[in-house]
Structures are given as C-alpha cells and as structure tokens.
Amino acid sequence: MADVEIDVVVVGAGPAGENVADRVVRAGLTCAVVEEHLAGGECSYYACIPSKALLRPMDLMGEVGRVPGLELGPVNVSKVLARRDEAISHLDDSGQAEWIAKLPATLLRGRGRLTGEREVTVTGADGAVTVVRARHAVVLATGSVPVVPPVEGLAEAKPWSSRDATTVREVPRRLAVIGGGVVACEMTQALHALGAEETTLIVRGGRLLERVEPFAGELLAEAFGKSGIDVRFNTEARRVERSADGTVTLHLSDGSTVEADELLVATGRRPATGDLGLDVAGLDVKKPVEVDDSMRVPGSEWLYAVGDLNGRNLLTHMGKYQARVCGDVIAARAKGESDDRPSLHDTADGYGAPQVVFTDPQVSAVGLTEAAARDKGFDVRAVEYDLGNVGGAYLLGDGYKGRAKAVVDERRKVLLGVTFAGPGVAELVHAATIAVTAEVPLEKLWHAVPSFPTVSEIWLRLLEEYGL
C-alpha cells in the first residue's frame, strides 16, 4: 500500500474534475486526479461530443433541404460513424492523460472512495490500493449515471443507454425511444436521419423538452412528425420483452404495442454517488451532493463537489464553470487569501444555465421560462416573435420556421430569460446569456444594434414588441 500526500485530490476526470485540477495547479498547488475509466469523462467519449458528431449531418441535411438549387446526396453512414470515432479519439484517453500530466498533475487510475477526513483510497483495476491524503481539499466530480425506470421486463430486455446510442456501430432499422428530454430528442433525430426508418418516441408527458418554453417542444414535435418520427404523447411503457430473434416489444399504456430492433431509454440521470464513501462525510448517497456557492459541502472545511454530481445543472459548461470557481476558491483558502471575490462564488447557476439542444430545429435558452419566473414571484411580461419574419432568418432557407421569447422583469426592466427555437439558433444564446447574467437594462440593450441581415435582428424585433 503506497501513501501519497498532495494539496488537492480530485475524484473523477470528467470536464468538471479536469478543470478543478487545471485551476489549482495554475495557482501553484499540487493535485492528483483519480479516474476509473477514461480521462475526459462522459462528455468527451459518450455524451456531448459523439452526439453532436452524429447530429451534424442531420443539421446540414436540413440546411441544404431549405435552399433550392442544392442537391442532397445519400448519407454515407460509415463515414459519419468514422468521423464520430475520430471525435471520440476511438475511446483512447491518452491525449487527455498527457494533458493532465502536462499541467502538471498526477493521474491515478482506479476507483476513488472517501475513507476518512481528507483521505481518498484508490483501488486500481489490478486490485492495487493507494491511499491519498489531501492537505487542503478533496473534490468529488464523479458525474451522473442514467436512470432506468422500473418497467416490467425493461432491464431484462437489455435496452440501450445513451452510451449505446452515441457509440452506435450499426443503426437499427426499427428504433423505439422512451423519454421526451434532451437525450431522447437529440438521439431520436440523429439515428432517424442515419437510417432508423421506423422510429417511435414514447413520451410520458404531453410535450417534448418540458423544461423549456412550450413553443420550442411544439416546433420540434412538428418537425419530428414531418420527418416521419412517430411521437406518442401521454403514453408509457407498461411491459417490455425481447424475443429470441432480438425484436423488442413494448406494451404501452394505451393498449397498443410497438416493435423495434433496439430500445433507447433516455429518462434522465442521477448523481454518481454509489460506493463513493459519502457516509464518511455524513452525506446521503441517494441525493446529489449539496454544496454552497463556493462548491463546498456545508459544514465541511475540505470537501467539495462539482459537475453533475451536485445536481445544479447537468451540463458540461456549467460543470466547468463550477470547477473554475472551486479550484480558485480552494487556492485562495489554501493561501489564506479572501474567498469573497465575485469570481469565487457560483452565481451563474442561479440565473438558469444556458443550454442548446442540437436538434432541427435547434432550441437554445437561458434563464427562466415565463412559468418559472411567475412561480418565483417576479412581476413578469413576456414578448414573442416569429423568427421566420426576421430578414436574416428568411435568407437562411425557404420555409424557415422558428420563434423567440423574452421574459422581462417588469420591476427592474431586465431580461430574466430568453428562448429561441429554429434552425441555427445555437449561436444566438450567448448574447442572451450576457444580457441575462449581466442584467443589462432594456434601455441599454436597445443600443446593441444587430447586424443586417443576421438572425440576431430578432433582438431588435423582441425589443420593439416590448414597446421600445
């Protein structure tokens, strides 16, 4: 048994954990990062990167289809999958391991577990055990794992998780998907475009993307329907079975059945708290690890949690933001400096994280929806505008269809949230993020003149709708 003493120990080398290491090392501390699978985490190999690589051809097909004079050729699926494989480095993390080494930080391969105050025990694949003691902080960054609902026969039918969908080698001809959130919508559309001819989406509720403004899910459902994806709202799987020839049969709550070659379950994720030794710190393994705005566990001097594990916002960019706050605050505290500088508090999560759903139409949003703002007691006024009537959008393609909505705090005259749905709206959301998080008064926003003819002219239209 080897013992290591170091300033900071990070458990989990996903985007959040890696960024904590980066920040503490930049500040002059030493750091060890514990990783049991691939350095780079879920995002790099099984989530953001492969899903977006698979969605890009569908995105371009949509664009080309809207511009007369361009021809759409057949999709070469094997080349699309080969590009996906390049994007995920063929599931080889040596590049990331090198990046960690160059920080420099120490990569410890194995499963990390809290075994005492400031102590993590790492068990390698070969059973070798290393006990690592942190002088200043232990940061947990173990991410999240998919949830499989307790439906009769579902687990036995060996459904796909998002990992199977994003690393797909052979696109099933018949695909069924359970869920109506981001993973379900993105992967349904990607796989349908890549050859899943019969695609059925089984949605428990009455709409897609239930956390964003309703019009976004409605536009997406309309596009799904047009492209031949069969969306069944207000429907649940009651029983699932897989026959000897591999066919999966879903018995649905409305009495109908769906047959498919593969079934993707995309019903959300839960924090990866299992076997992490959270009891050592008196924490409940069934819940996300609660943290304060410096990402520290309340009541602890040394334990922090960043990324999906703390349940604030399950998004890579938010995990990395939290990691920057966390790494910097650990360094400040280690040096006896003030930990009260503005950059040492997580305020962005509180505004409502920016997010892009890379479907066609894309959906991008930041801040609060109108309903959420009203629930929080704000004095709200919301304005909407049809994106198809914006010159820059119209020029992007015939029949451009989209919508935007701004939610205004009437008392302070600032934006609480903005949502866009339509082709190519991904890049619009950062301007909205600046307006929302910097609380730019509408009177000032009026002077941020959008270029003509760009889709950004939507800003002018929304402000005019508001009455400026």
Ligand X SMILES: Cc1cc2nc3c(=O)[nH]c(=O)nc-3n(C[C@H](O)[C@H](O)[C@H](O)COP(=O)(O)OP(=O)(O)OC[C@H]3O[C@@H](n4cnc5c(N)ncnc54)[C@H](O)[C@@H]3O)c2cc1C
Q: Which residues bind ligand NAD (CB under 6 A)?
A: 149, 178-184, 186, 204-205, 210, 236, 266-269, 314-315, 355-358
Residue range at the interface with ligand X (CB under 6 A); choices 136-144, 149-157, 340-348, 421-429: 136-144
190/458 with CB nearer ligand NAD = 190
Residue 424: contacted member of ligand X, ligand NAD, none (CB under 5 to 8 Å, by partner type) = none
Shortest distance (Å) from residue 308 CB to ligand X: 4
Gap between the Cα atoms of 9 and 271, Å rounded: 19
CB of 45 to ligand X, least distance (A): 8
Cβ-based nearer residue to ligand X, 175 or 463: 175
Task: Tell me which of 24, 168, 272, 436 binds ligand X, using CB under 6 A.
Answer: 272
142 interface partner picked from ligand X, ligand NAD, none, CB below 5 to 8 A per type: ligand X
Q: Assess contact for 12 and 34: CB atoms under 8 A.
A: yes
Min CB(151)–ligand X separation in Å:
20
Name residue 76's amino acid: N
Q: Write down the least CB distance from residue 273 to ligand X, Å.
A: 9
Under the binding rule (CB under 6 A), the answer on residue 43 touching ligand X is yes
Q: How many residues does the chain have?
A: 468
**Phi and psi at residue 445, in whole multiples of 5°?**
-60, -30
| 36 within 8 A of 112, measured Cβ to Cβ | yes
Among the listed residues 57, 112, 172, 180, the single contact to ligand X using CB under 6 A: 112
Q: Pick one of ligand NAD, ligand X, none as the site partner of residue 427 (Cβ within 5 to 8 A by kind).
A: none
Q: Specify the residue, 16 or 408, whose C-beta has the smaller distance to ligand X.
A: 16
Which of the listed partners (ligand NAD, ligand X, none) does 180 bind, with a CB threshold of 5 to 8 Å by partner kind? ligand NAD
Partner interacting with residue 210 (select from ligand X, ligand NAD, none; CB below 5-8 Å by kind)? ligand NAD
Q: What does 268 bind: ligand X, ligand NAD, none (CB cut-off 5 to 8 Å by kind)?
A: ligand NAD
Cα separation, 215 vs 397, whole angstroms: 21
Residue 465 near which of ligand X, ligand NAD, none (CB within 5-8 Å, type-dependent): none
CB of 208 to ligand NAD, least distance (A): 7
Structure tokens at 141: 């960054």
Nearer to ligand X, 168 or 272 (CB): 272
Among 7, 42, 346, 370, binds ligand X (CB under 6 A): 42
Residue 214 CB, nearest approach to ligand X (Å): 22
Q: Name which position in 6, 7, 12, 423 contacts ligand X (CB under 6 A).
A: 12
- CB 321 to ligand NAD: min, Å: 14
Cβ atoms of residues 435 and 354 within 8 Å:
no
Helix axis angle for 77-87 and 48-65, nearest 10°, is: 140
47 binds ligand X (CB under 6 A): yes
The Cα 436–Cα 62 span in angstroms is 30
Cβ atoms of 34 and 10 within 8 Å: the answer is yes
Q: Which of 414, 410, 408 is nearest to 440 (CA)?
A: 414
| Residue 43 interacts with, from ligand X, ligand NAD, none (CB under 5-8 Å by kind) | ligand X
Q: Is the peptide bond before 441 cis (omega within 30 degrees of 0)?
A: no
Is there binding between residue 346 and ligand X (CB under 6 A)?
A: no
CA distance 413 to 397: 34
Q: Which of ligand X, ligand NAD, none binds 35 (CB below 5-8 Å, type-dependent)?
A: ligand X
Size of the site for ligand X (CB under 6 A): 38
Q: Is 14 in the site for ligand X (CB under 6 A)?
A: yes
Report the partner that residue 179 touches, choosing among ligand X, ligand NAD, none (CB closer than 5 to 8 A by kind).
ligand NAD
35 belongs to the binding site for ligand X (CB under 6 A): yes
Residue 362 binds ligand X, judged by CB under 6 A: no
Least Å distance, CB 324 to ligand NAD, is 19
Decide: 12 and 38 in contact? Cβ < 8 Å.
no
Interface positions with ligand X (CB under 6 A): 11-17, 34-38, 41-43, 47-48, 51-52, 111-112, 141-144, 162, 166, 183, 272, 276, 307-309, 314-317, 319
